[in-house]
Amino acid sequence: MIRSAGLICCLLAAPAAADEIWVTNEKDDTVSVISIDTLEVIATYPTGERPRGITFSKDYSVVYICASDSDAVQVMDPATGEILHDLPSGEDPEQFVLHPNDRHLYIANEDDAITTVVDTQTRQVIAQIDVGVEPEGMAISPDGTIAITTSETTNMAHWIDTETQELFANTLVDSRPRHAEFVHDGAQMWVSSEIGGTITVFDTSDQSEIGKIDFEVPGVHRDRVQPVGFEFSADERTAFVALGPSNHIAVVNTETLEVKDYILVGRRVWHMAFNADKSLLFTTNGVSGDVTVIDVANRTALKSIDVGRFPWGAAFRPTQ
Amino acid sequence: MSRYLTALIAIVLREALRFVHQRERFVAALVRPLVWLLVFAAGFRAALGLSIIPPYQTYITYETYIVPGLCGMIMLFNGMQSSLSLIYDREMGSMKLLLTSPLPRWWLLTCKLLGATAISILQVYAFLAIAAALGIKMPVAGYLTVLPALVVAGLMLGSLGLLLSSFIKQLENFAGVMNFVIFPMFFLSSALYPLWKMAESSELLYNICAVNPFTHAVELIRFALYVEFNGPALFWTVLAAAVFTVAALWGYSPRITGPRGRG
């Protein structure tokens, strides 16, 4: 009875763990863990070489990390930072996406022009799909029926039927497509093109192009405006687009496809992740080696937090 | 005590009335920093952002950086303007009337100082309102926390103006003040560029900037606008204000100005 009371007291006295943002540091071979409460780095864990893509399992019990130069997807215990095991990933895995079944990882192998599908439970490769040259961006529809790979050099979005693990469509986009996302319950699919400086919006039902978003940051040369990662607000009416070396995040109205605002962040902004209620957005700034925190409602940058060298990917982890 | 208060109200009201009647002075006081903000800052826009330095928590544009410096500029010019008005008063004879009052001379000069500071604070708030309308906003609490910093900075720059006016005999000599006080104080400070940038080009210039009391006044304002306290800046600004005030009171003492005052 006394022990139970003591335990309850301890639990009450212990501060509640804050939600976290996990960031891969491409040049440091580490991941930095940021506390969303204090906006400070609370842990740094070593990884394989050149970590880039990062995502959590559905129950957040493990975190998957693309260790590109180690040619592996590493599986880490987020509670301890210990690498549990590697998954076979094919060569140079850069980005990946976890199927809604929480089991199949679709991995872009940049050097091999293939997309590898790995079963995270059996740790076996279940399919390898030929795609365009230098695949990078990966997305999966909310119902899990369509996977997308974008190829940087072929300038295409490749549409994969996840039932057959075969391509059923290829659509041209502007130069060097980097990132893809489904939106509006999978009705639309967006692809960013780094060199083209655009985002192309597709109708998922027939893979036709619905529109294109252009960016023009005042005072910044057009060549520096390079859209890469992007995410959607909770109501999906707004998209936040990282514009690479222009050091800005574009705020886009998803209905009119017009840019409403630009937010100044750190140098060479690449990818981003929201907190739980999507009130804060965390952007990875490669060259300045920090993460900028954006107040989504006010569209203002609040703080930039130093992490490791060349932060690349970001993922949210709830702890409560 | 009431005589002191009456004198304070009368002198501050006179300053306020003079300010209200000289609308062009108010406009000029706002146009000057706005030209810097809209024209000069546009040329140095730094659209890719300035490196993070305290009190800023993230990357800022150049327009955002120079706002505190331009607040200081308003107070610097206002301090000098009030010294100009003292010289004018002396030439017109109204200074004689003021200094022959039965109240102590230090109190009369302090009233002048407070009046000038109050006017410059009004100008700074008008400038901050226009800057906010142009999209250059500070944290909401910063508009309140900057008030004590503006009082300290205004008193320091006002007392400098008072000191200068005690040594300048004629209005014509005021041009020298522009060249030898205002411009060096403004350009050799952190108002327009961060001190680390100055250190990159010249260690000597950096050291001059670091001891310039105007730098500390600007940094005091900058930190206060972001709801942060800068102890060293406050210390050096208060110290400079005390030294300038004592020197100005000495400059205006009857032994120096003669039994009837210089006016």
User: pLDDT tens track of chain A, all 320 residues?
Assistant: 444 444 444 444 444 568 999 999 999 999 999 999 999 999 999 999 999 999 999 999 999 999 999 999 999 999 999 999 999 988 889 899 999 999 999 999 988 899 999 999 999 999 999 999 999 999 999 999 999 999 999 999 999 999 999 999 999 999 999 999 999 999 999 999 999 999 999 999 999 999 999 999 988 999 999 999 999 999 999 999 999 999 999 999 999 999 999 999 999 999 999 999 999 999 999 999 999 999 999 999 999 999 999 999 999 999 87
Which position has the token pair 């110290």?
Answer: B239
The predicted structure's pLDDT at residue B166: 82
User: B163 CA to chain A: closest CA distance, Å?
Assistant: 42
Dist. CA B116–CA B238, nearest whole Å: 17
Nearest CA in chain A to B56: A303
The dihedral sign for the CA sequence A179, A184, A186, A188: negative
pTM: 0.86
Q: What are the start-end ranges of the E strands in A120-197? A: 124-130, 135-140, 146-151, 156-161, 166-172, 177-183, 188-193
The confidence score (pLDDT) of residue A16 equals 56
**How many residues can be counted in chain A?**
320
pLDDT for B168-219, tens place per residue? Answer: 777 667 677 777 888 899 999 999 989 888 888 889 999 999 999 999 999 9
Nearest to A171 by CA among A196, A144, A187, A149: A149
The answer to whether A304 contacts chain B (CB < 8 Å) is: yes
Tell me, yes or no, if B53 comes closer than 8 A to chain A by beta carbon. Answer: no
pLDDT < 70 regions, chain B? 1, 45, 95, 97, 171-172, 174, 254-263
**What strands, in cross-sheet order, belong to the sheet with A40-46?**
A40-46, A30-35, A20-25, A311-317
Looking at residue B255, what is its pLDDT? 59
Tell whether A15 lies on the interface with B, counting CB pairs under 8 A.
no
Q: What pLDDT, on the 0 to 100 scale, is given for residue B53? A: 87
The Cα–Cα gap between A213 and A225 comes to: 12
Question: In b/e form, how buried is each residue of A112-144, taking b as 16+ CB within 10 angstroms?
Answer: bbbbbbbbbeeeeeebbbebbebbbbbbbbeee
Can you give the pLDDT at residue B28? 81
Candidate from B45, B52, B61 with C-beta closest to A304: B52
Instruction: In whole angstroms, give the CA distance from residue B130 to residue B122.
Output: 13
Which chain B residues are closer than 8 Å to A302 by Cβ?
57-58
Q: Would an 8 Å CB–CB cutoff place B45 in contact with chain A?
A: yes
